Amino acid sequence: MTNQPSISPAAHIGIVSLTVSDLAQSLAFYDTVLGLRAAPVAEGRTLLTAADSTPLLELVERRGARPKPQRATGLYHFALLLPGRLDLARWLQHVAEARWSLQGWADHGVSEAIYLADPDGNGIEVYRDRPRAEWPIANGQLQMVSDPLDARGLLALLNGDGEQWQVMPAGATMGHVHLHVADIEQSRAFYCDVLGFDLVQRYGASALFVSAGGYHHHIGLNTWAGQGTPPAPAGSAGLRHFEIIVPDMDALAKIVARLDRAGVAYQRDEVEITLQDPSRNAIRIVTNDRNM
């Protein structure tokens, strides 16, 4: 199947849906720390958007849900992509002044990234991309790295800048998701050979990164929670599903054909497919014109 055409180059990540244990607590966090705006959908279910109303997250409450165990498949982190470096600097200043605990930061060559977690332990990355012309290439291959972030240089951009972080800016998107999986090669076969993503980079034997359209990665996959790790217990806080958005019905039909050839089970309605990867991470593949 590896000689099949790649997934549409316009494919990208859409809404990430999370189970949370206390919706009010989570809404306060995502508003105060990240500046996401709440758009309630139903009791116990809320969409979170950027300033331009782009939906980025869905929160679904399950009262008392326990955090995902460390040794379980599921979400490693979701990643919010900011429009530019100045936005990242403003956000870093904001969380520093709020004294919110960060888990780390890094310069990945392709991007500058800052990491934290929500009240249920869901991993979050906030990042900005470098221009593609600046991405590190070695022997014709993209080489993402994990170097120290120049936080001082980032904050120096704010000299004379009077604007403070208040809301997730217009143009922010869900840049990628990074998943704990049970088996790297099984996951590579599913995301590359079946769905059609391109393998961009391996990180030793325990992680790899795949994308559409030449991006550095739309999906990261790792076995850092353990080889053969099971899914989290039912009802845990964490990933419910994530969306892969394709441009039109033709692109969706091509994925359906690939799934049929591979014998992968899925459910379909007019504008979306729902399925699970081999580690039981749930996926919705939707078109740009799907209804929320």
Strand, coil or helix: 79:
strand
**Sorting pLDDT into bands at 50, 70 and 90, what band is 290?**
low
- Number of domains present in the structure of the chain: 1
- Flag whether 263 is in a domain: yes
Amino acid 229: pLDDT: 97
At 207-254, the pLDDT tens digits run: 999 999 999 999 999 999 999 999 999 999 999 999 999 999 999 999
- Flag whether 173 is in a domain: yes
Compute the CA torsion angle 40, 44, 50, 55 (nearest 10 deg): -90
- Flag whether 4 is in a domain: no
- Flag whether 7 is in a domain: no
**Structure tokens given for 157:** 């951009």
Does 271 score more than 90 pLDDT? no
Q: Collect all residues with Cβ–Cβ distance below 8 Å to 224 and sequence separation of at least 6.
A: 76, 180, 206, 207
Q: Strand pairing of 219-222 and 173-180?
A: parallel
- Give Cα 151 distance to the centre of its chain: 23
At 177-199, the pLDDT tens digits run: 999 999 999 999 999 999 999 99
| Average pLDDT score over residue span 36-46 | 95
- Flag whether 249 is in a domain: yes
Which residues is 201 bridged to in the sheet? 209
At 107-148, the pLDDT tens digits run: 999 999 999 999 999 999 999 999 999 999 998 899 999 999
- Flag whether 198 is in a domain: yes
Question: Residue 121: what are its φ and ψ, rounded to 5°?
Answer: 85, 10
Q: In the predicted model, what is the mean pLDDT of the chain?
A: 95
**Sorting pLDDT into bands at 50, 70 and 90, what band is 1?**
very low
**Sorting pLDDT into bands at 50, 70 and 90, what band is 288?**
confident
- Flag whether 3 is in a domain: no
Domain that holds residue 25: 12-287
CATH code assigned at 87: 3.10.180.10
- Flag whether 206 is in a domain: yes
